[in-house]
Every structure is written in C-alpha cells, then in structure tokens.
Homo-oligomer: A and B are copies of this chain.
Amino acid sequence: MSESGVRRRRGPRRALTENEILDAALSLLDHGGPGAASVRAIAARVGVAPNAIYTYFPDKAAVVDALVERLLGDVDHDVFADRTQPWRERVEALALELRAKLSAHPGAVSLMIGSRLDGPSARALNERLLQLLTDAGLDPTDAARASYLLFVYIFGSLALEVADVQQTAPLPTESQRIATRQPAFSATSPDRYPLSAAAATTMAAYISTGQYLWGLRRILHAVAAPVPPKPGKVPEA
C-alpha cells in the first residue's frame, strides 16, 4: 500500500497515460486539421517513439474511438437532465451543448463522422434523449425514432458545417464564415438557378446557429405532434 497502491503491472513504469495521448491528438487536430493526428506526430508530441503508442492502444482506430468517446463524454448532462424544465428547452440545451462542444474541435469532428457512435457516452446520450422524449409524452417506439432523428440532425449539421471549411486550423467566427460564403452564393446565376440566387443570403447562413435552431425547432414541433403526420405505410419496426 506504499504510495497510492494502484500499481499492479510488472514491468517498468509507464511514461504516459492514455489521456495524455488523447490530449496530444486533440491538440494536433485542433491546429493542424484532421490529417495532423498521425501516430508519429502524437508520439513526437508526447516524447516517445512512434510505436510506443501501441502499448496504450491496439491501433490508430482505437485512438480515434477513445478520442470520440472522450469528447462525447464531455457534454454536460446536467443541463438537460433537469426534468423540471420544459422538454423542448432541454432538447435545445442538449443540441446547443453538443454543437458548441464539438464544433470547437472541427478536426476531431471529421474523424467522428464515420465512427460508430456506439460507445458508452453515445449510449448515455441516447438514454437521456429517450427520457426527455418520454417525458414529452411519446411512447417508447416513437421516442426511440425521434431520438435517432435528432441524432441524425445534430451530427448531420456538424458534418456539413465542418465540411464547409476544408482548412487546417480552428474555425473562424460564425459570422466570418458566413461572410466568406456570401460571395459564392451571391454569384449564383439567376438564369440557371433563379430560386437559389434569390435565397443567396439565407443559403450563406446555412451553417449559422439560427439555421440550426430553426431546423431543430421544426423537428421538435413535428415530434411533439400527437398524431403521426402521415400514418400511411411505414414498413417494419
């Protein structure tokens, strides 16, 4: 029981922890883009030989998975677990929290897209959403379907948002990004795409928080509808 008593392994002390590796990976992603988190770069950042990483993770995919898991685990559940609040505001809080936490790391989001999203944190998030939607009066099946609908919306929005800037570094301000998009949409040919040309400013703001909330509220409105909008044939469960 000498020190903290938790030493059990037989060999030499580890020079690192898994978390230090993930810190390095995230830091590299944050100011180098999705390609910057190579095993060799991570190893160099934490001061070991490249293959030392494989003592902590079986392969690079495991590093990415662990990073995604940690990012999802960082979302603050207290905000939307408070069942005394109206359920719509709780969902909005969750959606905004996720967007804020994740879009701060666009490089990591690029890696997260294409991940399974079935780790413990994703499961916990799904359970929270089911609670929320059950509180809203949905039956279990509809709650689950609505939960996935929200997942698709939240992560789909994030994917399109980070895909919009292909660059390496952290995202500029939202208004800066919208301003950057503006000229391209304003230059839309009114002959070939008349409606698009007329809606140029709205389209430049596709990546805005306003658009995000607009869509989210529409979805919440539909989800809350007591009667299915079109009860016609919806195959299988």
A residues lining the B interface (CB < 8 Å): 88, 110, 113-118, 123-124, 126-127, 130-131, 134, 140-141, 143-146, 148-149, 151-153, 155-157, 159-160, 162-164, 166, 175, 178, 184, 188, 192-196, 198-199, 201-203, 205-206, 208-211, 213-215, 217-223, 225, 228-230, 234-237
Contacts and interface: CB of A to CB of B under 8 A. Distances in A.
Contacts of A126: 193, 196, 203
A148 to B, nearest CB: 5
State the majority secondary structure of interface residues on A: helix
B163 A114 contact: yes
A114 B116 contact: no
A116 B162 CA distance: 9
A160 B164 contact: no
B210 A234 contact: yes
Contact of A214 (B115, B145, B156): B145
A59 to B, nearest CB: 13
A113 B114 contact: yes
Contacts of A192: 127
Contacts of A115: 163
Contacts of A163: 113-117
B140 A198 contact: yes
Nearest to A201: B237
Given A159-B159, A209-B235, A202 B141 contact: yes
A114 B123 contact: no
Contacts of A210: 234-237
13 contacts: A88-B230, A113-B159, A114-B159, A124-B193, A144-B203, A149-B219, A152-B152, A152-B153, A152-B215, A155-B160, A175-B236, A208-B235, A213-B235
B205 A236 contact: yes
